[in-house]
Structure 1
Amino acid sequence: MLQKLREKSSGLLGTIVIAILIVPLALFGIDQYLVQGGNSTAARIEAPPRWWPAAPSWWPASMLWQEEVITVQEFSQAFDQERSQRRAQQGDAFDPRAFESLDSKREVLEKLVDQRVLKIAAYDDGVVASDALVRSTIQDIPAFQVDGSFDAQRYQMALASQAQTPKQFEATIRDGLQVTLVPVGVQDSSFVTRAEMERLVRLIGERRDVQLLLVPPAEDTAAVSDADAQAWYEAHPEDFLSQETVTIEYVDVDARNLPAPAAASEAVLRARYEDEKARFVEPEERLASHILIEVPADADDAARKAAEDKARALASEARADGADFAALAQANSDDAGSADMGGDLGWVGKDMMVAPFEEALFGMAAPGVSEPVETEFGWHVIQLREIKAGAQEPFEQVRDTLAREQAEADRASAANELVTRVVDQIYKNPNDLSGVASATGLDVQTVGPVARDASDGVLAFPAVKREAFDEVLIQDGTISDPVEIEAGRHVVLRVTAHQASSTQPLDAVRETVDAAVRADRARKAARRQGAALLGRLKAGETLASVAESKGLAEPNPIPGLQRGMPVPNEAINRAMFAAQAPSGEAPTPGMEVMEDGTIALFVIEAVTPGDDTAINAAQSEMLKGQLEQVRGYDDAQAYTRSQRLRMQVRVFEENL
């Protein structure tokens, strides 16, 4: 058979067929290999090429499409950042297990996808961020400002703490601006017309004269059949779940109960002073400015020499009598962070600048202008304007500070020693708290069974509650790690019993089921009765006559009812303002059924629009700004959605 196959495939026809099959098989094979073999993709965004917007998505045209990939690592970093932000916002109420849901992951991923969509759209539209815009954006960042003004020293320190160069940071800002320029422009271009404002004010300030009649629900006392109870029970199983409960034993390790440490001796304090003498030195600082002649990393020798010559010429010009260094910096410096400030770097201390710059600055004996200095950024001309010498603070001046710090250190050391003893005992016997109790002299306390909504004692702390309901601790019965619930206070606990949540048998919840069935029947009966009463009102009967026929008191008049007032509740207020305004002298009837089956019958007798002259200019402008902000945000979101429609987005949920 193999011989026959070889013979058939060796002819011209076989060769053509194989050639045709090789291309798609190879391409699809490679695609599958890339997708499955390198399973590190969270999402892939593909778009037609910039020069062919109508390019089809089928092969081979699809090979020309642009592609942006969000890796699993990028997603994980964004997800971790979102987790940190929510933990900071919610504090102890933050539940990390709830945050790990697929919905949370998709929410974070969707933000990343939108960013990549906007990146492609910006490239296609030729969006470019100018140097001036990058510079002004950096100077407007509050983290780089002192008293509302850009501070070059703070800028340099902030970048150094993040191990970033100004060039790298400027590139990051430029990329971000290019992605956001269009959507921000769309958002900022939103406007509200005068007619819209007038209509909005009339709606917001609208008042209605209403008559309201509340018809109490008829009590349902009829028996509930077994069939009806069974049907309701099976249709609403989530309503009859028992609460998950745990019983825990714990030890409360509170360092505040430790005896106060003895006061440190004079010798200990003097030894601490000698060890930390550098802390009490006011460091030397130098007030400096500079001019940067930037040299790209890939510059050739001619470009480097030209930059050096320009720096030397500027240094000579800056040393001339009457020279204005700030003006020279504004006209010639390539440092976006300081050029507009005349090259001002503020007060510069040690370890704030790159080594060659620092050596040159602190090597100057007196104020003046240095020879050009080469660093990784290019050539610098440095102006030393003022020197602030350092000084050593004497022991007597800082003794109280040292004593306070030593007392805190001794107290923290005792607390750490106590927690260390706890941890040691947990390692020795991870399933029994008696060792922890004996090592610390503390009692083992027990609480439970308790549900997740418990908030008494140590269970008032969300961190303790999370440990108490941790699946691993429940299954293994081991002691938790120390949980810090307050400064210096830790709790270690062990789950001794656990009852999982489960659907309770019908017999156990029959009374609850019967009550739910009766309430449902009452609501349905109320809707039927309300519809019939509303029909009578629409037929021309007055609300007063309906009240009389039901043996109820006169309707309650509510003149000047405002939108949003909870009278008698928000749902009925919405129904009243959703009803049509009365036509002529005939009032507009309406009806709403409350959750408890009470029927709210009402008639709208008059509608008074809000007066747009009743608010002052400041209030009108504030309202206009709020409306424009909301509308602008919606417009920006619509722009992003419209860009996504022309792209193909594939999400790999299995990698999230």
Structure 2
Amino acid sequence: MLERIREGSQGIVAKSILGLVILTFAVSGIGSYINSQTDTALAVVNDVEIGKSAFEQAYQNERNRMKSQYGEMIEQLMLDDNYVANFRKSILDRLVIEELQRQEANNLGVRVGDEQIRNAIRQMPEFQQDGQFNNDRYLALLRQAGFQPKEFKEYVREQMSRTQYVGAVSGSEFILPSEEKAYKLLNDQVRSFDMVTISAAGLKPSIKPEQADLDAYYAANKYKYQTQPKVAVEYILIDSAELTAGLEVSEQEVDTYYNDSIAMYTQEAQRRLSHILIETGDDAEAAKATIMKAQQELTAGKDFAELAKLYSTDTFSGENGGDLEWVDAGEMGDDFDLAAAELVNVGDVTDVVETEYGYHLIKLTDFKAAVVQPLADVKDEILASLKQNKITEVYLDVQTRAVETAYEIADTLEDAAEVSGLKVQSTGLLARAQLPTVLLDQKVTEKLFDEEFINEGLNSDLIELNDDKSIIVRVNEYEAAKQQSLDDVLANVTGAVVAQQARELAGVKAADILAKLNAGEALSSLGLNVERQTDVARYETKVDVTVRDTAFALAKPENGAKEVTSVTLNNGDAVVISLNSVSQKASEAAEDTTKQQLESIVSRVTAKAYIDTLKAMADIEINM
């Protein structure tokens, strides 16, 4: 049984599942899994609610992840209301999908064993110190989040069950040799074609739009020609780095902390153990009789290692004389730990011990006494910890005083600044994109441009920017968006109309060329600048992607004929394409990855189709 657990936890699928759980935990944080108060349901999936707090946590996590990956560009995107709306919708959709997967995993009876749960938790970096699992840190973090170990284990079990289910669905497809061959032929295809580009930019000088054209465009696109709403802001920035510059920790403080916390710097005694395990299976009496027989033979002088090889049903350790190597507390369960702790001398063997796995005889084969790290080895760590504690204490004290005063005297920030030793900073009337960087955080901009908040004319609540910075804001003046007249934006409207008409004219010219080609004229006879593209691959980058994809969408020319079409590019240019030939290229890859590529594609398609089916069959209510 233990052998099967070990083998299962080492497999590629198991490691992938574990990685997903660890990633979920690392990204989301412990606190996101606590829901101790009544919550507004943004979605209901088969009577299971997805609350606003869970959604906001997932939203902030994903936003922070994107910011760490793409930098400040994300903050600029977040200024676009349409982008934010789509982004939030995608987060809620993901939560709905995860809930559907969880429910389906439960319906299918997907289960994860206790040993897998323990291994997963021990590998989570949040609970490790110096690369090793630290039980004190584990318990402290759970207590900090208001979690009981049993509750957290059940959460991990649920996540691993869901990801096991997802892996099973996406890994259930297989590829036939004929499908692999067909895909490879398509993938290795190259196409040669001629193309003529009608430049929209080249047509613009000849276009003189009529006033009616300008009027019509302006009327249809008035929303584009509004001034941005503006706010004049006052704010107090609470920055721990500025508050604690020059802060020091004394030697006496370090000594006192070390002596008071000596348990943290003590490595517990370690035991190397061997065991003989007889699993109970369906016949507990027979198992007990077997372990008693092994104990009798051991008492009679037989070698423990030989008996382990002969009797132990844990064949993985049995083949090594029962050796479990160095066993940490909690690894084998409480009953096993209690019995092993009573072994004093190397060579001692326990009486028969019953655990959830079966019956054991446990032998102490090596012992390392507890070791206390000297102060010199941990001094830097203590200094950093004490300094951080002081920084946090100062930061929270200033923050508390500022928040309380800003709330009590809500029509100005001057009193809050004076009480907390900070200064009030201000801006003139600025549009959202013009705000200083510290005010571009989405939580801040949403508050500053919130109509209700503006009308109240009061100080905001504390807004956390990150772990080390927070801010209180108020709006002193507001200027609503204004509709600009056509005269105000005439140059912009004229440019847009010219671009639109140039795009349309390029399309007309392309259609005229196509008509001639379809009538039998040769492209080369039309006096145009013809570009020849030879042996363009399916994922070639030397030509425009839109042109390439359009060329690959054409049918293969037959009997010397050519396939022709046109396409309009994003810049307004129209391109006429005449496909000359389709051929195969020899694969240059050292290793053929066609099957893996196709399996990946089919797995994604299958997983999406399965989710679409679950959605169609589910009762889903969206309240956002």
TM-score (norm 1): 0.67
Q: Is the 8 A contact 1:582 1:588 kept in 2?
A: yes
Aligned residue for 2:264, secondary structure, equals helix
Q: Is the 8 A contact 2:198 2:510 kept in 1?
A: no
Which position in structure 1 is the counterpart of 2:341?
Answer: 362
Match of 2:313, as an amino acid? A
Aligned residue for 2:203, secondary structure, equals coil
Aligned residue for 1:541, secondary structure, equals coil
Q: Does 1:653 align with 2:619?
A: no
Which position in structure 1 is the counterpart of 2:196?
Answer: 212
Task: Please point out which of 182, 186, 197 is paired with 2:172.
Answer: 186
1:310-325 matches, within 5 Å, as: 312-316=292-296, 320-324=301-305
Q: Is the 8 A contact 2:193 2:577 kept in 1?
A: no
1:248-397 matches, within 5 Å, as: 248-258=233-243, 260-261=245-246, 264-290=249-275, 312-316=292-296, 320-324=301-305, 326-327=308-309, 330-331=312-313, 346-348=325-327, 356-367=335-346, 368-374=348-354, 380-395=360-375
Q: Distance in 2 between matches of 1:260 and 1:166?
A: 39
Q: Distance in 1 between matches of 2:341 and 2:115?
A: 30
Q: Does 1:628 align with 2:599?
A: yes
Q: Does 1:609 align with 2:580?
A: no
Aligned residue for 1:609, secondary structure, equals strand
Q: Distance in 1 between matches of 2:376 and 2:137?
A: 34
What 5-or-longer segments of structure 2 have no aligned partner?
1-39, 69-73, 126-131, 143-147
Q: Deviations over 1:314-362 (max 9, x none)?
A: 54456552133654685169xxx98999876654456777655443322
Q: Does 1:239 align with 2:221?
A: no
Match of 2:302, as an amino acid? D
Provide closer, same or farther for how the CA distance between residues 514 and 465 of structure 1 changes in structure 2, counting only shifts above 3 A: same
Match of 1:591, as an amino acid? S
Report which stretch shifted further, 465-474 or 568-577.
Answer: 465-474
Match of 1:89, as an amino acid? R
Which position in structure 2 is the counterpart of 1:195?
Answer: 181
Match of 1:615, as an amino acid? E
Q: Is the 8 A contact 2:209 2:494 kept in 1?
A: no
Which position in structure 2 is the counterpart of 1:575?
Answer: 550
Q: Deviations over 1:560-616 (max 9, x none)?
A: 445455666332333334344555555544433345544433444x3252323x424
- Shift in Å, 1:528: 2.7
Which position in structure 2 is the counterpart of 1:72?
Answer: 49
Provide closer, same or farther for how the CA distance between residues 200 and 455 of structure 1 changes in structure 2, counting only shifts above 3 A: farther
Q: Distance in 2 between matches of 1:344 and 1:294?
A: 17
- Shift in Å, 1:516: 3.7
Provide closer, same or farther for how the CA distance between residues 89 and 523 of structure 1 changes in structure 2, counting only shifts above 3 A: same
Aligned residue for 1:371, secondary structure, equals coil
Q: Distance in 2 between matches of 1:370 and 1:166?
A: 32
Match of 1:71, as an amino acid? V
- Shift in Å, 1:625: 0.7
Q: Is the 8 A contact 1:246 1:450 kept in 2?
A: yes
Task: Please point out which of 390, 394, 398 is paired with 1:418.
Answer: 398
Q: Is the 8 A contact 1:328 1:342 kept in 2?
A: no
Task: Please point out which of 513, 516, 521 is paired with 1:536.
Answer: 516
- Shift in Å, 1:198: 3.8
Match of 1:609, as an amino acid? S
Aligned residue for 2:598, secondary structure, equals helix
- Shift in Å, 1:369: 2.0
CA RMSD, Structure 1 to Structure 2 (Å): 5.0
- Shift in Å, 1:500: 4.9
Provide closer, same or farther for how the CA distance between residues 119 and 403 of structure 1 changes in structure 2, counting only shifts above 3 A: closer
Q: Is the 8 A contact 1:217 1:599 kept in 2?
A: no
Q: Does 1:108 align with 2:87?
A: no
Q: Does 1:437 align with 2:417?
A: yes
Match of 1:217, as an amino acid? L
- Shift in Å, 1:199: 1.2
Aligned residue for 2:207, secondary structure, equals coil
- Shift in Å, 1:259: 6.2
Q: Is the 8 A contact 1:361 1:382 kept in 2?
A: yes
Q: Distance in 2 between matches of 1:273 and 1:364?
A: 31
Q: Distance in 1 between matches of 2:351 and 2:156?
A: 27
Provide closer, same or farther for how the CA distance between residues 627 and 355 of structure 1 changes in structure 2, counting only shifts above 3 A: closer
Task: Please point out which of 37, 51, 65 is paired with 1:89.
Answer: 65
Q: Is the 8 A contact 2:101 2:165 kept in 1?
A: no
Provide closer, same or farther for how the CA distance between residues 632 and 406 of structure 1 changes in structure 2, counting only shifts above 3 A: closer
- Shift in Å, 1:412: 3.9
Q: Deviations over 1:203-249 (max 9, x none)?
A: 2xx14142534353253213232xx5565445445434543433322
Q: Is the 8 A contact 2:117 2:157 kept in 1?
A: no
Q: Deviations over 1:458-492 (max 9, x none)?
A: 24555544554456644433334444546644433
Provide closer, same or farther for how the CA distance between residues 290 and 84 of structure 1 changes in structure 2, counting only shifts above 3 A: farther
Which position in structure 2 is the counterpart of 1:57?
Answer: none
Q: Deviations over 1:504-559 (max 9, x none)?
A: 566655554454444434433332332123212332334455337xxxxx434444
- Shift in Å, 1:426: 2.1
Provide closer, same or farther for how the CA distance between residues 196 and 453 of structure 1 changes in structure 2, counting only shifts above 3 A: farther
Q: How many residues align?
A: 555
Aligned residue for 2:584, secondary structure, equals coil
Provide closer, same or farther for how the CA distance between residues 229 and 142 of structure 1 changes in structure 2, counting only shifts above 3 A: same
Q: Distance in 2 between matches of 1:177 and 1:469?
A: 40
Q: Distance in 2 between matches of 1:291 and 1:80?
A: 51
Which position in structure 1 is the counterpart of 2:20?
Answer: none
Aligned residue for 1:432, secondary structure, equals coil
Provide closer, same or farther for how the CA distance between residues 353 and 155 of structure 1 changes in structure 2, counting only shifts above 3 A: farther
